[in-house]
């Protein structure tokens, strides 16, 4: 019984992790940018959902696409206006730049919202679903399913739409894509924007589960990192599998080794994977 419950906990967590990591993986895979801003984008999405709920009464689940849309504007402008100037530079340059931008955004949020932890307290929580001795928290289940839905929508967009194919094309071979008439700078900005969309929606969904504070951004960023490496870079199925893998590993790690070692277990597995399969579970270098 305990095992089943732990498995359910892990799956619920895993879906959320997938959503946290999807945008990060896309930006890393396509632009070769390790976007340190990602964690703060998620937190900003949570704040948008929080204030929309407090002042307008809009449920964070409904707010998620709009929070994503707002973040798209910010992401697009940041890439177009700043990051694009160094986008072809070595990865360390873009990493440093996004790190600097993250300091600005994160400290800006600290100024605006303070470091106080806020929480969306739903007036009508969905409650729990009991199956014998097993508990399924329904708000978490809903957040997880919506997370997966958004990730699948992203996958669908990448596979079917013209813009999606262009993004994949740029990822596979930037020069060839440019020769085929793809406006690479435009695609970069859109991709960065989409990464921010995923962060915004994830933040909005997470606002009902985790406390909201600018200080949470680093934890989200860490999860995104691990999921990407576990699942493989820039691959949407990889993100989903990586997310579930991390959620389940953490849950069972806590059961067998104690809560304090849950993180250790996931990082040890990460190192093992980096050694034996550096492309991740689903990763194939350079391909979607």
Cβ closer to another protein: 55 or 130?
Answer: 130
Q: Binding to another protein by residue 252, rule CB under 8 A? A: yes
Q: Which stretch binds another protein (CB under 8 A): 45-53, 64-72, 94-102, 214-222?
A: 214-222
Using CB under 8 A as the binding rule, whether residue 265 contacts another protein is answered as no
Q: Is 245 in the site for another protein (CB under 8 A)?
A: no
CA proximity to 198, closest of 152, 245, 139, 145 = 152
Rounded Cα distance between 118 and 243, Å, is 25
268: contact with another protein by CB under 8 A: no
173 lies in the site for another protein, by CB under 8 A: no
Tell me the closest approach of the beta carbon of residue 285 to another protein, in angstroms: 31
Question: What angle is formed at CA 51 by the lines to CA 48 and CA 53, rounded to 5 degrees?
Answer: 105
Measured between alpha carbons, how far is 218 from 36 in angstroms, rounded to an integer?
A: 9
Cβ nearer to another protein, comparing 242 with 253: 253
Binding flag, residue 270, another protein (CB under 8 A): no
- Asked if 110 touches another protein (CB under 8 A), the answer is yes
By the 8 A CB rule, do 27 and 228 touch? no
Question: Rounded CA gap, 100 and 278, in Å?
Answer: 28
- The least distance separating another protein from the CB of residue 58, rounded to whole angstroms, comes to 19
Q: First and final CA of the chain: distance in angstroms?
A: 39
Please answer whether residues 195 and 38 qualify as being in contact, where contact means their C-beta atoms are separated by less than 8 angstroms: yes
Beta-carbon count within 10 A of 108 CB: 13
Q: Which residues sit at the interface with another protein, rule CB under 8 A?
A: 1-2, 5-6, 9-10, 12-13, 107, 110, 114-119, 121, 128, 130, 135, 137, 139-140, 209-211, 213, 215-216, 218-219, 223, 250-255, 258-264
């Amino acid at each position: 019984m305990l095992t089943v419950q732990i498995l359910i906990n892990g799956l619920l967590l895993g879906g959320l992790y997938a959503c946290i990591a999807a945008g990060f993986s896309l930006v890393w895979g396509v632009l070769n940018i390790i976007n340190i801003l990602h964690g703060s984008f998620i937190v900003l999405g949570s704040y948008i959902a929080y204030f929309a709920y407090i002042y307008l009464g809009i449920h964070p689940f409904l707010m998620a696409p709009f929070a994503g849309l707002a973040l798209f504007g910010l992401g697009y402008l940041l890439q177009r206006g700043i990051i694009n100037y160094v986008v072809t530079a070595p990865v360390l340059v873009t990493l440093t730049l996004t790190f600097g931008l993250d300091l600005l955004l994160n400290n800006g949020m600290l100024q605006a919202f303070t470091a106080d932890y806020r929480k969306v307290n739903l007036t009508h929580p969905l409650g729990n679903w009991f199956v014998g001795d097993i508990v399924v928290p329904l708000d978490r289940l809903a957040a997880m399913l919506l997370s997966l839905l958004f990730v699948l929508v992203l996958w669908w967009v990448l596979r079917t739409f013209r813009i999606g194919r262009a993004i994949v094309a740029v990822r596979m071979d930037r020069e060839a894509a440019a020769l085929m008439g793809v406006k690479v700078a435009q695609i970069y900005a859109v991709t960065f924007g989409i990464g921010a969309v995923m962060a915004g929606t994830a933040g909005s969904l997470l606002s009902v589960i985790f406390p909201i504070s600018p200080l949470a951004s680093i934890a989200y960023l860490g999860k995104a990192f691990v999921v990407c490496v576990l699942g493989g870079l820039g691959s949407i199925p990889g993100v989903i599998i990586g997310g579930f893998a991390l959620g389940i590993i953490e849950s069972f790690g806590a059961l067998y080794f104690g809560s304090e070692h849950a993180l250790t277990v996931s990082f040890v597995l990460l190192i093992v994977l980096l050694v034996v399969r550096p492309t991740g579970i689903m990763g194939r270098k350079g391909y979607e």
